[in-house]
């Protein structure tokens, strides 16, 4: 990808389990954002974490950011079948108002 990689590429879990996705990026950033995309649809913004933040919560979502390792993780707790989608991280480099997307993780939550 233009900016970084995500792992795993695919993740299959049972409803009720937690799902963790990781994102690594290459350059210094101003912020990192996570998006969700259902198959063939547009993007849904989930959460933004700034470079001076280490952790952020939003409902069942928890995002961490480690700028020293240039990595972030997205945790979805108590997953639901409706969480099935692809999840992308996007980074905004310093001094550039543009995004670069990671390679994405395809999450399948089995009912």
Partner 1 sequence: GAVVSQHPSWVICKSGTSVKIECRSLDFQATTMFWYRQFPKQSLMLMATSNEGSKATYEQGVEKDKFLINHASLTLSTLTVTSAHPEDSSFYICSASGTDSYEQYFGPGTRLTVT
Query: Binding of partner 1 at residue 102 (CB under 8 A)?
Result: yes
Shortest CB 16 distance to partner 1, Å: 27
Length of the chain (residues): 111
Residues 65-79 as b/e (b if ≥16 CB within 10 A, e otherwise) read beeeebbbbbebeeb
Is 43 among the residues that bind partner 1 (CB under 8 A)?
A: yes
What gap in Å lies between CA 75 and CA 97, rounded to an integer? 26
CA 37 to CA 29: how far, in whole Å? 23
Instruction: Verify binding: residue 40, partner 1, rule CB under 8 A.
Output: yes
Specify whether the CB–CB gap between 92 and 26 falls below 8 A.
no
Q: Is residue 42 a contact point for partner 1 (CB under 8 A)? A: yes
Instruction: Find where tokens 């996705």 sit.
Output: 21
Q: How far is the CB of 98 from partner 1 (least distance, A)?
A: 5
Q: Which is nearer to partner 1, 6 or 83 (CB)?
A: 6
CB of residue 85 vs partner 1: minimum separation in angstroms?
13
Among 1, 22, 67, 108, binds partner 1 (CB under 8 A): 1
For residues 83 and 103, give the distance between their C-alpha atoms in angstroms, rounded to a whole number: 18
Q: Contact residues for partner 1 (CB under 8 A)?
A: 1-2, 30-31, 35, 40-43, 45, 48, 88, 92, 97-104, 106
């Amino acid at each position: 990808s233009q900016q970084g990689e995500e792992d795993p590429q695919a993740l299959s879990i049972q409803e009720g389990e937690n799902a963790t996705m990781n994102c690594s990026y290459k350059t210094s950033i101003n912020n990192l954002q996570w998006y969700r995309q259902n198959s063939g649809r547009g993007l849904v913004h989930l959460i933004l974490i700034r470079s001076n933040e280490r952790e952020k919560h939003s409902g069942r979502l928890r995002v961490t950011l480690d700028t020293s390792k240039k990595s972030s993780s997205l945790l979805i707790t108590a997953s639901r079948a409706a969480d099935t989608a692809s999840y992308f991280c996007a980074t905004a480099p310093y001094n550039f108002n543009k995004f670069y997307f990671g390679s994405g993780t395809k999450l399948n939550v089995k009912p």
